[in-house]
Amino acid sequence: MKREAAIETSSQGKPVTIAVSNVKKYFGPTRALDGCSFSAVAGEIHAVVGGNGCGKSTMAKVVSGVLEIDSGTVSILGETPTTPAESRAIGIATVFQEVLVADECSVVDNLFMGADDLFSNVIPWDEKIERAARMMRELSGEAVDPLALAGTLPLNIKQWITIARAMLANPKILILDEILSGARSRQHAPPVRQDARDARCRHHHPHRHAPHCRTHRNLRPSHRAARWP
């Protein structure tokens, strides 16, 4: 992981925790990102909006360390993560479009997957059950049995499971990559929890969720250098 310069501050005196400058990412002849720049500050809910193919998911994967850029600079909390593990280590949690749950496992097991040591439980079982029930009710707006198998639940509840799993890690930055397209709740967007009010939530999502966000960046499809046959 590369260490960038010291974290800058915005005009409001808040630290600029995400700084992307002139980033380019190509897939063969396709320019997924062609000189993209934006920044986000601590405590900000920042939306990246735009149509299909404009590079929202690519940008999420760049910030999350999944994809390496071809040129430009990326600074996240003063670091440049180049792998998902490095991204998690500095406090980034990403929920991708794909609904990644283990259908044969319970809700609580999905939420706390990887939280325990190999041969011992770090978090008591009763506490896991209580936290899982509370988190799912808070996010989805309905009671969800923590012991229910994920495979028996509707798609929108599975999506809330992936979001809850990310939030339980208490991330400094939470990135949602169009995950809310099928999620239904009373608010239609994840609440900003009191214990995570310093996190940045980037909603890579259609425009209907922009009113929930304090700032936004509008991405447009990049120019195509060429097209596949």
Would you say residue 228 lies in a domain?
Answer: no
Contact, 47 vs 202, CB < 8 A? yes
Q: Contact 102/150 with Cβ under 8 angstroms? A: yes
Task: Answer positive or negative: Cα dihedral of 192, 39, 18, 30.
Answer: positive
- Domain of 154 in residue numbering reads as 2-218
Q: In this structure, what CATH number is given to the domain that contains residue 189? A: 3.40.50.300
pTM of this structure: 0.73
181 phi, psi to nearest 5 deg: -60, -30
Q: What percentage of the chain carries pLDDT values higher than 90?
A: 38
- Number of domains present in the structure of the chain: 1
> Which of 141-145, 176-180, 218-222 tops mean pLDDT?
141-145
Is residue 138 domain-resident? yes
What's the start-to-end Cα distance of the chain, in Å? 37
**What CA–CA distance (Å, rounded) separates 21 from 37?**
4
DSSP string spanning 155-220? HHHHHHHHHHHHHTT--SEEEEESGGGS---SSSS----GGGTT-EEEEE--GGGGGG-SEEEE--
- Rg over alpha carbons for the chain, rounded to the nearest Å, is 18
- Residue 229 resides in a domain: no
Pairing status of strand 2-3 against strand 30-41: unpaired
pLDDT value of position 188: 44
Within a domain: residue 167? Answer: yes
Is residue 178 situated within a structural domain? yes
Q: What region, left, alpha or beta, does residue 77 occupy, with left being phi > 0 and alpha being psi -120 to 50 degrees? A: left
Is 93 part of a structural domain of the chain? Answer: yes
- Residue of 184, 168, 178 lying closest to 206 (CA atoms): 178
Tens digits of residue pLDDT in 17-74:
899 999 999 999 999 999 999 888 888 888 887 888 888 889 999 999 999 999 999 9
> If we measure between CA atoms, which residue out of 19, 78, 21, 12 comes closest to residue 43?
12
Residue 26 corresponds to which tokens in the numbers above?
Answer: 């190509």
Please report the pLDDT score of residue 73 as a whole number.
93
* pLDDT tens digits, one per residue of 4-23: 545 555 555 677 889 999 99
Q: Is residue 129 situated within a structural domain?
A: yes
Total residues found in the chain within this entry: 229
**pLDDT bracket for residue 208 (50, 70, 90):** very low
Which of 146-150, 202-206, 224-228 has the highest average model confidence (pLDDT)? 146-150
pLDDT digits (tens, 9 = 90+) for 189-207: 455 444 444 444 444 443 3
Mean confidence (pLDDT) of the chain: 77
- The DSSP string of 75-112 is EETTEE--SHHHHHHTTEEEE-SS----TTSBHHHHHT
Residue 99 to residue 157: CA distance in whole angstroms: 10
DSSP conformation letters of 53-76:
TSSHHHHHHHHTTSS--SEEEEEE
Query: Region 112-128: what's the mean pLDDT?
Result: 79
In-domain check, residue 223: no
